[in-house]
Chain A
Amino acid sequence: MTEPLLEVSDLKIHFFTDEGVVKAVEGVDLVIERGKTLCLVGESGCGKSVASRAFMQIIRKPGKIVSGQMLFRRKSDDGTEEIIDLAKMDPKGYPIRQIRGKEISMIFQEPMTSLSLMHTVGHQITEMIRLHTDTTPTEAKVSAIKMLQRVGIPRPERLIDEYPFRLSGGMRQRVMIAMAMSCNPTMLIADEPTTALDVTTQAQILDLMLELQHDYGMALLFITHDLGVVAEIADDVAVMYLGRIVERGDADTVFNEPKHPYTQALLRSIPKIAMQRDELEPIKGMVPSPFRRPTGCQFHPRCAQRFNLCNQVEPANTHLNENHSVRCLLYEDAEARTSNAEAAAHG
């Protein structure tokens, strides 16, 4: 029995720059289930980070949510369950600040720069605890030490008075995780938390996050471009291309029966140990400039299976079954399929 925690529909985020409007996120639909892991996958610049920041309303200027809904289920103050629309909240207002850190918290990509180097580890963690709970400084310190211990930091009672610049990258990311988990959030967003770390540390951090999720039962939104990581941790996968989700489904389905040509190409581009071929198979072409988006399907200039309609018709979301949907004309309807066949015959 699954239960949606955050339902995102038609989320659009535009950046109003001097050179023009960049449509970073152009209609994203997502469901994050309580206690489950959703991996958001895509190349650099596809809008996955921006979208995840929107869930906390911490998009940087000049970015703005221009439309969409982000329905978040939470316990209201009187104990009943309520549904609030995060998209409608004022980014600087008090209500969203109550959700940030307490109910939704975030781990960032760069552990080197995500912590302030001028404040001690303990200061930065207890600040968050004291902001959201009614505790004395001593109590906050005790629970910070507990949390540091929980994320596997040796001698936390000493490390708590240390400055982050004296810690290694892996240690800093553990501190970040301890901080994000310190108020026991219902949802944790991790924006490429292992990208800046070396491989052995990556594996440790991943294990730690899975373990914490198991123990605390929070939902995890994991943003990555590393499909190996996805295979290891994901319950559900959403593949993003140029501001849209092109395919989503449970991890097994997406890995074993990828439908969208982009997902298929992504999976083919991963090196395999038992690989016969000498070369990797990269996806042809470049990610288009956000100022000059292709017409029709955004992926068609790089797509190996494109046909005549692809540069004209924008594909809608097609539900293949309950847990699997794709945005591609190949799967859309009979008419499209026929023209696909015709195109193939002519080619």
Chain B
Amino acid sequence: MWQYIARRFTYMVFTVWIISLITFAVIQLPPGDYVTTIVSQMINSGMEDLPPDFEQQIREQYGLDQPMVVQYYKWLRNIIVDGKFGYSFVYRKDAKDIILERLPVSFAISGFSVLFIWAVALPIGIYSAVKQYSLADYLVTFIGFIGLAVPSFLFALVLMFFSYKYMDRAMIGLFSREYETAPWSLNKFLDLVKHLGIPVIIIGTAGTAGLIRTMRANLLDELNKPYVDTARSKGLSERALLWKYPVRHALNPFISTVGWILPSLIAGELIVSVVLNLPTSGPVIYNSLLTQDMYVAAGAILILSSMTVIGTFISDLLLAWLDPRVRLH
């Protein structure tokens, strides 16, 4: 058991390191850097006669003239030793502050979305499998395919329209006006939870539909296994044996999905956040990539990826707890 955890943990650290390498490399890939962006902005705004060594000066100032390996080393060292993620050229403050301002909201939305997806997909998937080919099963399958097929931004726009027209309230943003700039407090958190409903539903719909399919298919496989006959031949009631045996076996793949569900949620969150004007990290990452604000982009991507890896690690632990075969082999 401990060996299993130690091995998984080593994989996790190694994976995060590889991610940091790739993240940094990818961000350097597009031609030019933040200085190029500034210079072209200055030229656009009419400042034609820049000093000839202007670009060079700024690059030296920010350390952008050094080779990539050195930049990477400094960046990683700062993160590990000082917990600093570098400097945001655009916002003119620590990249960490910008990321920390936005990421908790992203995690709140993703976390609630996962809970929402589980809470909805698990019972519906089970019901759909047990009552295979019933009217309810067909209905759930039909709605599920619609949920999978409709793009989340379209769903967001439609919900926005209806809320505006019939509820007289635009569902934009995540906070009521009085909390928008207020520091974090319990009341602000409760206000956030109140506003989370709609985005969580929009972000979670596709995942829910997918997971209902997964759960249904898994459970259908398990329902005809001989151990179910054994349980029935003991005299257990249908409901008791269903939850105790086949559902328990079908949960394995379900738990493994926690790992891959997070990145897809974060990708989906970006579009929905733009449409609904939510202060999450998605739009910030997007803008920082556009303006080549490299430290913000790299820091945010690194943290998000690490969280995904950690999510996978947690799902591995859950799996070991749930399934003795994983634990004991």
Contacts and interface: CB of A to CB of B under 8 A. Distances in A.
Given A97-B235, A116-B227, A118-B325, 5 more contacts: A56-B233, A105-B233, A116-B249, A118-B323, A127-B234
Contacts of B328: 163, 166
B222 to A, nearest CB: 10
A108 B234 contact: no
A117 B230 contact: no
B229 interface: yes
A64 interface: no
A1 B227 CA distance: 38
Contacts of A114: 226-227, 229-230
B168 to A, nearest CB: 50
Nearest to B132: A61
Contact of A163 (B229, B236, B237, B325): B325
A101 B234 contact: yes
B77 interface: no
Interface in B226-244: 226-227, 229-238
B248 A58 contact: no
Contacts of B224: 60
Given A100-B232, A128-B234, A108 B226 contact: yes
A58 B325 contact: no
B233 A101 contact: yes
Interface of A: 53, 56, 58, 60, 92, 94, 97-102, 105-106, 108-110, 113-120, 127-128, 131-132, 163, 165-166, 176, 179
B183 to A, nearest CB: 47
A53 B226 CA distance: 12
Given A100-B234, A128-B235, A113 B226 contact: yes
Interface string B286-329: 00000000000000000000000000000000000011110010
A117 B246 CA distance: 11
Contacts of A97: 235-237
Interface in B108-137: none
B92 to A, nearest CB: 56
A113 B225 contact: yes
B236 A118 contact: no
Contacts of B248: 116, 118
B230 A108 contact: yes
A283 to B, nearest CB: 29
20 contacts: A53-B229, A56-B233, A58-B229, A58-B232, A58-B233, A94-B237, A100-B233, A101-B235, A106-B233, A114-B227, A114-B229, A117-B227, A117-B324, A119-B245, A128-B235, A131-B234, A131-B235, A163-B328, A176-B230, A179-B234
B233 A117 contact: no
Nearest to B329: A165
A131 to B, nearest CB: 6
A113 to B, nearest CB: 4
A108 B225 CA distance: 12
Contact of B235 (A98, A117, A119, A120): A98
A27 B233 CA distance: 24
A21 B328 CA distance: 46
Nearest to B246: A116
Contacts of A132: 235
B238 A92 contact: yes
A136 B234 CA distance: 18
Contacts of B237: 92, 94, 97
Contacts of A102: 235
B234 A115 contact: no
A128 B236 CA distance: 8
Contacts of A120: 324
Contacts of B229: 53, 58, 60, 106, 108, 114
A119 to B, nearest CB: 8
A115 B226 CA distance: 8
A58 B233 CA distance: 7
A38 B234 CA distance: 22
Contacts of A56: 233
B132 to A, nearest CB: 9
A118 B324 contact: yes
Interface in B9-30: none
A25 B178 CA distance: 74
A135 to B, nearest CB: 15
A163 B229 CA distance: 19
B173 to A, nearest CB: 46
Given A118-B323, A163-B325, A131 B236 contact: yes
B111 to A, nearest CB: 28
Contacts of B226: 108-110, 113-114
A114 B231 CA distance: 9
A97 to B, nearest CB: 4
B230 A163 contact: no
A166 B324 CA distance: 10
A132 B235 CA distance: 8
Interface in B195-236: 224-227, 229-236
A116 B231 contact: yes
Contacts of B249: 116, 118
A116 B225 CA distance: 9
B235 to A, nearest CB: 4
Interface string B269-293: 0000000000000000000000000
A113 B224 CA distance: 11
Contacts of A99: 235
Contacts of A166: 328
